[in-house]
Amino acid sequence: MAKISPHEALIHIMVTVSAADRSMTDNELAKIGSITRSLPVFSDFNEENLVSIAADCSEILQNENGLDQIFDNALEVLPSHLHETAYALAVDVAAADLSLEQEELRLLQILRDTLNIDRLACAAIERGARARHQSL
């Protein structure tokens, strides 16, 4: 497989988290779209590529070691200063449904270990997501 871009790596992570419980909900897909349209890390991203990048991710995940490949690709192409960003995006997508399934929690744990994110940073990211997704 050709080397992917940092944008692709971030999208692959978000799609992987969304698909972790075998169900990509409308809320999760909307969150991914919103993130790619609004966050500075995607300021020069061409949104027309989102669907094909998500499809590429789904194809990779069909492989026997697909999850490892997604995370290895991310480690290879994401600069270290974007590791916390990648985790924050993953947490936001997982929280989009206002409940986290066991599969999503496990995937987030693997991701934070893979990206070597400090426990305090993880806690802050998770708490921020919880605060952003509260309802009345």
**How does pLDDT run across 118-127, given as a tens digit for each residue?**
999 999 999 9
The average pLDDT across 50-77 equals 94
- The answer as to whether 18 is a domain residue is yes
- The answer as to whether 63 is a domain residue is yes
- The answer as to whether 61 is a domain residue is yes
How many other CB atoms sit within 10 Å of the CB of residue 115?
21
pTM > 0.85: yes or no: yes
Domain count within the chain: 1
The answer for residues whose C-beta is within 8 angstroms of residue 56's C-beta and 6 or more apart is 8, 12
Compute the distance between CA of residue 57 and CA of residue 39 in angstroms, rounded to an integer: 21
- The answer as to whether 103 is a domain residue is yes
pLDDT in tens, 85-118: 999 999 999 988 877 778 889 999 999 999 999 9
In terms of Cα–Cα distance, which of 89, 94, 99, 98 is closest to 35? 89
The answer for residues whose C-beta is within 8 angstroms of residue 105's C-beta and 6 or more apart is 94
pLDDT at 1: 56
Q: Which CATH number belongs to the domain containing residue 18 in this structure?
A: 1.10.3680
- Where in the sequence is the domain holding 39, given as residue range(s)? 6-132
- The answer as to whether 117 is a domain residue is yes
- The answer as to whether 1 is a domain residue is no
CB 64 within 8 A of CB 101: no
Torsion over CA: 2, 84, 92, 19 (sign): positive
